[in-house]
Chain A
Amino acid sequence: MTKKSVQALGLTAMLFAGAALSIEPAHAASATGDATVKILSAITVTKSSDLDFGKIVPSAAAATVAIAEDNSRVCGSGLSCFGTTTAGAFAVTGTANETVSVAIDNPSITLTDGGSNSMAVALATTTSAMTLSGTGAGSFKVAGTLNVGANQVAGSYSGQYSVSVSYQ
């Protein structure tokens, strides 16, 4: 056998060895699967402040008193409004960075004096959805428009409404 042929055989052997190292078993294949879930924490909604229209002196004509989310008040024509006013406010807790929807369950309610006298209130919020903070906190406010009747009977009027906050 010449030297040249020996060298050729050696190269061939090296090629086969290289091929054997680079080829993986082809008859089977394995993979790793991933599984994930995000467990949410329950949402809590806590009232921070009541919607308070303050004190109102009615007139001979019906009018409205509106409380905005920034606690400001617009007193209707003929009415006299004074005293502290506040918008309704709620604090929310849940899973951090999750988006939640906000809804007023009963946007029209009635305030009563415990007897037969009442006033209607229209409720609204500009927050229909929000993303909770990195600590899972959020808040929203509720504005209202009170319909004061002509010569509305004096007294303390109150009523209730409910809100819902849900994960989206």
Chain B
Amino acid sequence: MRDGSIISYPLMRVILFAGAMACSSLAMVHTANAASGGAAVTIIRSLSATQEESLDFGRILPAARDGMVTVRPDGGTECNGVTLCLGEGKPALFRLTGAEMPLAVSIDPVVAMTGPDAAHVMVTLLPSGPVVMASPAGTAYAVGGQMIVAAGTPPGIYAGQYNISFEYQ
């Protein structure tokens, strides 16, 4: 065995040398065909939406027939067919804080406001628009509504909730 190892040791050297050469050759081939790849990412500020004002139709005195009250997103109000509109209705206001990018808006089209003894009033929501720009300082987004006041609507306070969502486009 000792003789064998004397003989085989130089052979191993040859094999190791050949292997090293091969690796070196591969490295040279790799270097010769090198290419640079690009990588990029855009970090976008987190988006948040907060309701600052709720949609408020104020105080309404129904008439003997059906009427309609509209609170526009710009704050204007219209009262048709009702005896009185008091308290100055106002639109809902949402504060959108995020990157200066357009946002797609989706909102429930209708909200039911429930009052005394499960009586309800339906409101068609009137959002400012389908798209809004967010901003780091916060952008206001208004939502108005149009409400049918049926004759004989029981007096009381009516309230309801709706969902609204904003998404970077």
Residues of A within 8 A of B (CB): 24, 26-42, 95, 98, 167-168
Contact = CB atoms under 8 A, between A and B. Distances in A.
Interface of B: 44-51, 54-62, 69, 83-84, 86-87, 89, 92, 94, 96, 98, 107, 111, 113, 115, 121, 123, 143, 145, 147, 149, 153-168
Contacts of B115: 39
Contacts of A26: 44-47, 98
* Most chain B CB neighbours (cut-off 10 Å) among A24, A31, A36: A31
B49 A31 contact: yes
B155 A37 contact: no
A31 B163 CA distance: 6
A26 B92 CA distance: 23
A134 to B, nearest CB: 14
B44 A27 contact: yes
* Chain A to chain B: the 4 pairs with minimum beta-carbon distance, closest first: A37-B57, A34-B54, A41-B155, A26-B46
A20 to B, nearest CB: 15
A86 B83 CA distance: 34
A29 B115 CA distance: 29
A37 B158 contact: yes
21 contacts: A26-B45, A26-B46, A29-B96, A31-B49, A31-B165, A34-B51, A34-B92, A34-B159, A34-B160, A35-B54, A36-B55, A36-B157, A37-B113, A38-B58, A38-B87, A39-B60, A39-B61, A40-B60, A41-B155, A98-B59, A167-B61
A33 B113 CA distance: 12
A39 B155 contact: yes
Given A30-B49, A34-B54, A40 B61 contact: yes
A88 B50 CA distance: 54
Given A28-B47, A30-B163, A35 B61 contact: no
Contacts of A167: 59, 61, 84, 86
A95 B50 CA distance: 33
A29 B51 CA distance: 12
A130 B113 CA distance: 29
A37 B167 contact: no
A95 to B, nearest CB: 6
Nearest to B56: A36
Nearest to A24: B46
A24 B111 CA distance: 27
B58 A37 contact: yes
B157 A32 contact: no
A27 B55 contact: no
A130 B47 CA distance: 48
B57 A40 contact: no
Contacts of B59: 37-40, 98, 167
Contacts of A95: 155
Contacts of B84: 40, 167
Contacts of B44: 26-27
